[in-house]
């Protein structure tokens, strides 16, 4: 064994057991040296007559958390993981995996090629490759269904979720579970020696019999295929995973492995993989901000929330779920009772679904308190204002917080658009003020835009990112402007949709084109869900500052004037009879659109869905470039993550800026210049986009420079 392999794979004989410890920090990823070390360990066990069993265990906090991401995009180095695992499974001496912490992707595939598996409570087992546009490529699609059946195997592989040790035991993925805190090496040694004492046979997973009832297995596969077609619309790798499992059902193991390899390579070559890999890395980069290098977070042991409406309650649940005590303040007893009810409703929903016990809810709610007196916030470390989106209302709340909050408390506003510099300037401690723009529902949506005003202290920014980490949010640093990153860009591509509507496309066709692209909903469906009154109020707020030269489409105003605010009023762009969640097309809306076209002197023309998306995406990318150029977003990847986690952008496309790189910035700039012949003001190319095209560079080059 080479020195490098020996460093990452330690081999020690304990009696009849060869203990093989993977020690490749931080997560024991399957680097080339680890793969070679495992192959060498199997060879050593085979040649040592005193060894009767092999025990695989991980050092530190993980068994093996998967492939080595440092090798992504580089030429594959031998030995390949599938080959190593065949050697492991073919061992004529029993092989035991002792799993603690994560056993994910290739890590679980290693465990599956062992003959027996023990897990320590708290372990996480999963095959998350689908999230990177891939499939388990080292026998996972062949061994897993043979061991636990088609339904359970496809559930793991198509969702990419993690199973607990206890669930893994129930489904037959592992053979034994040890209590939390047990030492995996000690437990694994005891288990291996017990198996030897029983003369336990070599038990190869590829020979497991969960697929014996072929008709039942095929029925489960067909059901999963139908479900996946609905859930994974437009995605490449889920279909390939299903094909692999069909191979496990129809083919001998070796041919099934060849089929898996062929389909794995197809996934590798899919453009979706590039988008998904970018999304994976981009999410990990957004927390790398200048302030985190400059300062440590302040103490963060308690939270205050002002406002108990939908947003305030959602933020409260997110904080409670993070283990923090929360004090909610509302204006009167009736409002605080309603705020508490809004919080409890979330937990009652979980209880109704069997995902929480009444006892757990009671324990969480013990950390909640409500008050009508701002003085109740005197000792909290961080307070989040979540009241009505109006500057006067916000400033009044901040004046109260300035009086009662202790020195050094972080004071945050959950505004979507308003000028946080102006809010900060209205109190005596602007250095403590930050924007925390949660997305609704705040306890579910992962994105948190952390908006950094001019005078804020670096440690306040670091504290906001620490709060995001505890809440398991994906944080993105944003500068102050109208709408920050997401809503500022949204306003522009929403305007492009309005122009398409007035120029001849129907709201229903535009929504269909956007859904075909991969969004869960189109812009007019989203408007109906959010409530047309909100957009109407924003347009009225901005009316005085609107450029009189800019084209303004009034269709949304005509609909709002009728009191049609979307789902809440049972009609908006769509009809929602009896409170239906899915809308029906409305001929009266089309009549309003026609009338507005005539008033504006527009002769309608037809657009293909592809033409709709050319304009929609060009507007999005162009404004994204402006946001990066102005420093509102640190890097293009911050724009991507904002749209992936806050606006339903299809993950397999990587985000708008990554999508633009894949299409070609020169093509997008050419489109913008073509559209500018109709409306030079709206379609002004971003200077950053022009500069990148002139230099032959792309947005990715700016991610690397940051």
**Three-class secondary structure of residue 328 per DSSP:** strand
Nearest by Cα to 260 from 243, 278, 239: 243
Query: Within the chain, how many helices (H) and strands (E) appear?
Result: 31, 19
Q: Does the annotation mark 129 as catalytic?
A: yes
Q: Taking Cα atoms as reference points, which of 538, 541, 305 lies closest to residue 436?
A: 305
* List 4, 14, 89, 109, catalytic entry: 109
Cα separation, 543 vs 54, in Å, equals 74
For residues 484 and 437, the answer to whether their CB atoms sit within 8 Å is yes
* Dist CA 375 CA 401 (whole Å): 9
| 600 contacts 616 by C-beta, under 8 angstroms | no
Is the preceding peptide bond at 586 cis, omega within 30 degrees of 0? no
- C-alpha 243/C-alpha 222 separation (Å) is 11
Alpha-carbon distance of 556 to 593, in angstroms, equals 9
For this structure, is 109 an active site residue?
yes
As a whole number of angstroms, the distance between CA 525 and CA 508 comes to: 9
3-state secondary structure 426-478: CCCCHHHEEEEEECCCCCCCCEEEEEECCCCCHHHHHHHHHHHHHCCCEEEEE
Cα separation, 612 vs 624, whole angstroms? 18
> Measured between alpha carbons, how far is 83 from 35 in angstroms, rounded to an integer?
9
List the catalytic residue out of 129, 220, 291, 330: 129
Report whether 617 contacts 628 (CB < 8 A): no
CA distance 417 to 542: 11
| Alpha-carbon dihedral sign for residues 441, 442, 448, 450 | positive
Place of tokens 């026609």: 594
Is beta strand 124-126 parallel, antiparallel or unpaired with respect to 162-164? antiparallel
**Distance from the first to the final alpha carbon of the chain:** 40
Q: Say which DSSP state 702 is in.
A: H
Whole-angstrom distance, CA of residue 92 vs CA of residue 69: 32
Under 8 Å between Cβ of 110 and 62: no
Q: Which of 4, 67, 18, 37 lies closest to 185 in space, CA to CA?
A: 18
Any idea which residues carry the catalytic annotation? 109, 129
């Amino acid at each position: 064994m080479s020195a490098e392999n020996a460093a990452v794979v330690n081999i020690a004989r304990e009696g009849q057991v060869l203990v093989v410890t993977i020690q490749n920090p931080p997560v024991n990823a399957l680097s080339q040296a680890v793969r070679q070390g495992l192959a060498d360990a199997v060879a050593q066990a085979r040649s040592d007559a005193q060894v009767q069993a092999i025990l695989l265990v991980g050092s530190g906090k993980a068994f093996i958390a998967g492939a080595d991401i440092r090798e992504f995009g580089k030429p594959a180095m031998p030995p390949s993981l599938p080959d190593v695992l065949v050697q492991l499974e073919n061992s004529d001496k029993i092989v035991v995996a002792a799993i603690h912490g994560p056993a994910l992707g290739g890590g679980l595939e290693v465990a599956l090629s062992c003959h027996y598996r023990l897990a320590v409570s708290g372990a996480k087992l999963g095959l998350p490759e689908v999230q990177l546009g891939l499939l388990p490529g080292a026998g996972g699609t062949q061994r897993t269904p043979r061991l636990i059946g088609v339904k359970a195997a496809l559930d793991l592989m198509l969702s990419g979720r993690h199973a607990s040790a206890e669930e893994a035991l129930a489904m037959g993925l592992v053979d034994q579970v040890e209590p939390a805190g047990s030492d995996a090496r000690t437990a694994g040694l005891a288990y291996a020696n017990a198996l030897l004492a029983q003369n336990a046979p070599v038990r190869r997973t590829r020979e497991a019999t969960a697929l014996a009832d072929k008709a039942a297995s095929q029925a489960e596969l067909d059901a999963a295929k139908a479900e996946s077609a609905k859930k994974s619309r437009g995605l490449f790798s889920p279909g390939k995973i299903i094909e692999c499992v069909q191979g496990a059902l129809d083919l001998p193991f070796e041919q099934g492995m060849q089929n898996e390899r062929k389909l794995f390579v197809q996934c590798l070559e899919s453009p979706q993989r590039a988008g998904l890999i970018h999304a994976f890395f981009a999410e990990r980069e957004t927390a790398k901000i200048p302030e985190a290098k400059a300062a440590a977070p302040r103490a963060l042991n308690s939270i205050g929330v002002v406002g108990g409406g939908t947003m305030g309650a959602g933020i409260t649940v997110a904080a409670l779920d993070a283990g923090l005590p929360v004090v909610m303040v509302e204006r009167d007893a009736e409002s605080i009772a309603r705020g508490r009810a809004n919080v409890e409703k979330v937990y009652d929903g979980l209880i109704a679904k069997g995902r929480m016990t009444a006892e757990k809810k009671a324990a969480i709610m013990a950390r909640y308190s409500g008050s009508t007196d701002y003085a109740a916030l005197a000792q909290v470390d961080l307070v989040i204002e979540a009241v009505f989106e109006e500057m006067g209302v916000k400033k009044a709340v901040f004046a109260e917080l300035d009086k009662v909050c202790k020195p050094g408390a972080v004071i945050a506003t959950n505004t979507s658009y308003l000028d946080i510099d102006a809010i900060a300037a209205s109190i005596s401690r602007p250095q403590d003020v930050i924007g925390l723009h949660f997305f609704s529902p705040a306890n579910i949506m992962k994105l948190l835009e952390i908006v950094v005003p001019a005078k804020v202290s670096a440690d306040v920014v670091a504290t906001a990112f620490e709060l995001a980490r505890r809440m398991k949010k994906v944080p993105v640093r944003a500068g102050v402007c109208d709408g920050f990153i997401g809503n500022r860009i949204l306003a522009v591509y929403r305007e492009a949709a309005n122009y398409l509507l007035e120029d001849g496309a129907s709201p229903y066709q535009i929504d269909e084109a956007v859904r075909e692209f991969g969004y869960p909903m189109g812009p007019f469906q989203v408007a109906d869900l959010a409530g047309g009154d909100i957009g109407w109020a924003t347009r009225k707020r901005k009316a005085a500052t609107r450029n009189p030269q800019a084209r303004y489409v009034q269709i949304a105003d005509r609909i709002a004037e009728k009191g049609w605010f979307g789902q809440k009023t049972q009609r908006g762009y769509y009809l929602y009879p009896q409170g239906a969640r899915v809308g029906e097309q409305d001929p009266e809306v089309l009549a309003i659109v026609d009338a507005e076209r005539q008033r504006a002197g527009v002769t309608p023309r037809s657009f293909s869905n592809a033409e709709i998306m050319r304009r929609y995406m060009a507007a999005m990318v162009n404004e994204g470039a402006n946001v990066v150029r102005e420093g509102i977003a640190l890097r293009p990847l911050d724009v991507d993550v904002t749209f992936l986690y806050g606006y339903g952008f299809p993950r397999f496309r990587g985000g708008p800026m990554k999508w633009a790189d894949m299409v070609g910035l020169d093509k997008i700039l050419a489109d913008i210049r073509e559209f500018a012949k109709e409306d030079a003001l709206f379609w002004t190319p971003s200077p950053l986009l022009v500069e990148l095209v002139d230099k032959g560079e792309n947005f990715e080059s700016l991610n690397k420079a940051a």
